[in-house]
Structure 1
Amino acid sequence: MKSVCLKREADGTYKPAYTELPPLQPHRGHVIVEVKACGLSPVDVKVLSSLHDGAETLPVGYEVAGVVKDVGQEVTSLQVGDSVIGLLSLASSCSGCAEECEMSELAVVPKPESVGFIVAAGSLQPALWAYTAVHYLGNVTAGNTVLICDGATANGTVAIQLAQLWGAKVIATASNHEEAEYLEKMKPPPACIINLSKTRSFVENCLAETGGLGADCIIDQGVDLFQSGERYSEIVLTALSHEVGTVTGERRRITKHDAISALAVGGKWITSMSQLQLDPPDSQFLSMKSASVSFVFEHAWMLSARQHGKYMHILEDLADKLNKDILKPMIHHTVSLLDACSELSTLSSHLTGKVVMKI
């Protein structure tokens, strides 16, 4: 059985590699899924290594769509031949980027017949991220104004659609003309698109669009910690170096001060910046606005058994919305299993849409 993993090199770094494994046998309550497609995302090696106690090889690929090949004891809701979708836990020893993987019966839902394997796999991680940020952390409802940064990415596209579906007014940022053009073609498009490559003052544009009140919820996929021209601190550079598939080249995005300044009173700032540094003046500014900061880490649902019900709610609602063509994820392109290793090192350069491995 062919699989892709991250293999530790002599210098301690991890790099994508192919491996041959014996056929998998299902444990109690688990099924073997013949992988038809797997969404690819940048990998945080530091987190993975800590979960796997610094193992020589680490699994890669978690967003799986496939067909049940074998079932273990006490599996009652699935049978061989069922088409399913689901996400592997970061703590799983299996790679989803493989010919087959083992998944818990309780971690998958049926794939709608009208939805292809590629679209299903490509929507899993963006949807889990978007539901976590927009619904569970942002509590976005009708009448709210939501600012979604990097709206043309796979995560941003789904977050925009969910916020619009729940009645919110959406402001989205774009890093360049191509991203802005993509956002303009969405149906419906965001109420306001702020092209960061053209505007001189993001905060002024955001406040003008909200009548001076600011956004009720700001959702980012990373922010700059300092103003343009200032250098990253050593801790941020170190954090970025732990991510496989993350290009650290220049990219226009808002700063942490921009986010705080654009927040409304009582607003919620939902950030993906795990190494966020808030100075005392930042905290005081947030406090004076009675605002809050939350961190979105979509894999937390699979790492905590107590939150399993929320994870299953997201999967079931996603499957329903895909079946009804309510959610339309953006697929950038597909690659074969043989090309997956080289693809993992360039994932973040594809700014619009999701890359999917197909078999």
Structure 2
Amino acid sequence: MKGLYCKSSGRSDVNFFIQETDLPGTLGNHQVKVQVKACALSPLDLKLLEDLQLQRDLVPVGREISGIVLQVGPKVTFFQPDDEVVGILPLDAEVSGLSDVVLIHEHHLVQKPEKVSWAEAAGSIQDGVRAYTALHTLARMATGHTLLLLDGASPFGVLAIQLAHYHGVKVLACAHSQEDQLFLEQLRPHVGVQESVVARVISQSDGKVDLVESCLEETGGLGVDIVVDSGVRLYEEEPEHRRLLPHKHDIITLLGVGGHWITPEDNLQLDPPDSRSLFLKGASLSFLNEEVWGASRACQGRYLHIMKDVVEKLSSGTLRPQLEDPVPLHKATVSMEMVQQKKVRKKVVIQL
């Protein structure tokens, strides 16, 4: 049985390759054997694995899977053979999701609706969990709020926009290129509907549009209720690949009273004046890391509820992911290299 693995000699020097692998001979009490039909690819966070002391010589690649249950452990209660399921392998999984068959604990899986394809299910589950974590868990979004999404055309951004619009949130989204801007302007909640899900698309491709002015103009000077960024600049001078990111002062300036700033920037540094500005606004800062759901068994029920809601909204058409055409397994290595280098804008799914 083959699987995709990563060998790293540093955080930036990684090598992906397909290798033969074996499964344990027996199922654990709560384990489920799944025949994988599709597996989505996301960039590896090697720093996170290192911090959690999960770094190994060979790191399994591909955690977002959909497939058919082949066999269940003696104490499994949620599933039975022939069930169609979707789930996320845990960070400490020893087998790649690109294997023909994987063993996974039943609490990392949910039922896949019949109307949802294998590729859609695998390609949406992790970004869907991330969107729910940002908007529901951290930002406590509610009808009438205004959301600023700093990279609206990313796979995560598209699902976050659709989820926010469904709950009556006004969405402002930034576009990093002309293609992204056109895509966001044409994004609709359903086929044939004229109304756009994005109230305003803010172009950041040429640096000519002032982000703060645009947001304050759109909110009558009050500021936005929720900001979800995709990274921020900490200093005026940053490397070329970070030049389109907003400065942290801009985020604080456009945030409204009682607002929520959600960031994946794990090395964010706030100076005392920054903290003072947030204090005066009664605003909050939260760090977006959807992997925390696996950190405590007390959160397992909420985690499963989120995954179930993601697939239900996929089935109803509320969430519609942007996927690349399914890729065969023999092209998985090249595809993963492009994903790791962030050279693809849509979600890449490997069809097995």
Give deviations 1:132-154, integer Å, cap 9, x for gaps.
Answer: 00111010100111111100111
How large is the Cα RMSD of the aligned pairs? 1.9
Task: List alignment gaps of at least 5 residues for structure 2.
Answer: 189-195
**Equivalent pairs, count:** 341
State yes or no: 1:341 paired with 2:333: yes
Provide the residue aligned with 2:211 in structure 1: 202
For residues 129 and 107 of structure 2, the distance between their equivalents in structure 1, rounded to whole angstroms, comes to 16
Q: Any conservation in 2 of the 1:51–1:91 contact (CA below 8 Å)? A: no
Matches within 5 A, 1:37-76: 37-76=38-77
Alpha-carbon contact 2:164-2:171 (below 8 Å) kept: yes
Q: 1:219 to 1:250 in 2, by over 3 A?
A: closer
Q: State the match for 2:233 in structure 1.
A: 224
SS across alignment from 1:326: coil
Contact 2:90–2:108, Cα closer than 8 Å, also in 1: no
Distance of 1:11 and 1:274 partners within structure 2: 15
2:248 matched residue in structure 1: 256
Pair 1:3-2:12 in alignment: no
Q: CA deviation at 1:280?
A: 2.0
Determine the C-alpha separation between the residues in 2 that align with 1:132 and 1:204: 28
Q: 1 CA distance for matches of 2:54 and 2:187?
A: 43
- Distance in 2, matches of 1:50 and 1:16, equals 21
Instruction: Tell me how far apart the structure 1 counterparts of residues 54 and 113 of structure 2 sit (CA, whole Å).
Output: 37
Letter in 2 for 1:80: P
- 1:135 and 1:12, CA in 2 relative to 1: closer, same or farther beyond 3 A? closer
Matched, 1:295 2:296: no
CA positional deviation for 1:180:
0.6
| Cα offset, 1:28, TM superposition | 1.5
Alignment deviations for residues 5-57 of structure 1 (CA, whole Å, 9 cap, x no partner)? 11245999542222111244422200111111111111111222343544211
Structure 2 equivalent of residue 354 of structure 1: 347
TM-score relative to the length of structure 2: 0.92
SS at match of 2:286: strand
Contact between 1:115 and 1:322, CA under 8 Å: does it hold in 2? yes
For 1:130 and 1:349, locate their aligned partners in 2 and report how far apart those are by CA, in whole Å.
22
Is the CA contact (8 Å cut-off) linking 1:133 and 1:296 kept in structure 2? yes
Question: Is this contact kept in 1: 2:147–2:227, CA < 8 A?
Answer: yes
Q: Which residue of structure 2 lines up, in the alignment, with residue 156 of structure 1?
A: 157
Superposed counterparts of 1:34-113, under 5 Å: 34-113=35-114
Deviation at 1:345, TM superposition (A): 2.0
Give the whole-Å Cα distance in 2 for the aligned partners of 1:53 and 1:109.
Answer: 25
**Counterpart Cα distance in 1 of 2:175 and 2:246:** 10
Residue 222 of structure 2: aligned partner: 213
Q: What is the CA deviation profile of residues 315-338 of structure 1, one whole-angstrom value per residue up to 9, with x for unaligned ones? A: 111121111111111113332222
* Aligned residues with identical type, % of pairs: 40
User: 1: distance between equivalents of 2:301 and 2:164?
Assistant: 22
Moved more, 52-61 or 162-171: 52-61
- Residue number in structure 2 paired with 1:241: none
TM-score (norm 1): 0.90
Residue 339 to residue 49, structure 1, CA distance change in 2 (3 Å): farther
